[in-house]
Amino acid sequence: MQPHAEMVHWFFAAGILFVGACLLCEAIVGREVWQMRPWRKYLWPGTAFLMGVLLWPVMAFFTNSAIHMYAHGSWAEFLMLAGGAELGLVHGRLTSRWWRLTWPLAFVVTGTAFIVHEQNPWYFARSAFLHHLIGWTFLIAALIPLALVWRPRSAALQACFALVIVVVSVQLFADRDVAPVFGHLSPLAGTPHR
């Protein structure tokens, strides 16, 4: 009765796409307009926090090795930390800009976990390729939320941050459990099912 791993990736991709669209909108209209309605300022930090919470059942039900458990558990923790810190910042409970460091931290932890828990090489199968690609995307893109700590009002940086989230969503939507990547599929990966 459990969904395939690829389906879980697609559900998270949908949530991430929604967050990316919200972030892009905030970058376009500016924080002042975005926060005109009280509920809207909690929307994407709340969704990010919720996705962190939902990563716990993923950790519990999709753990086929210790490294998977550590990877999913660390994402859950750091996504909850970053989403929670953002919630505190928009609510006004947290005032120090250093709380925004939780985002680059979450990116680095996520990127490292993606790369470390994928033990197959890039061209083993599409899922292996995408795990490496997403990992490196997060690691390199961590510079953007890091720059936002010092330039939180920069529309260009906000738009870049949003676009990175959208790119990650597209990468997750492209994931398949067993499928070739650029014509490569290891015979050890299994039979592609669709």
Query: What residues line the site for another protein (CB under 8 A)?
Result: 1-4, 7, 10-11, 13-14, 17-18, 21-22, 24-25, 28-29, 32-34, 36-37, 40, 43, 173, 194
- What are phi and psi for residue 181, nearest 5 degrees? -125, 120
**By C-beta, is 36 or 53 nearer to another protein?**
36
Q: Of 47 and 186, which has the nearer Cβ to another protein? A: 47
Q: Count of alpha carbons within 13 Å of 44, Cβ hemisphere only?
A: 19
Q: Quickly count: other Cβ atoms within 10 Å of residue 154's Cβ.
A: 15
State in angstroms the smallest separation of the CB of 121 from another protein.
Answer: 26
- Report whether 100 contacts 152 (CB < 8 A): yes
Q: Nearer Cβ to another protein, position 18 or 70?
A: 18
| Cβ 125 to another protein shortest distance, Å | 18
Residue 1 or 66: the one with the smaller Cβ distance to another protein is 1
Which one, 79 or 179, has the nearer CB to another protein? 179
For residue 125, the SS3 value is: coil
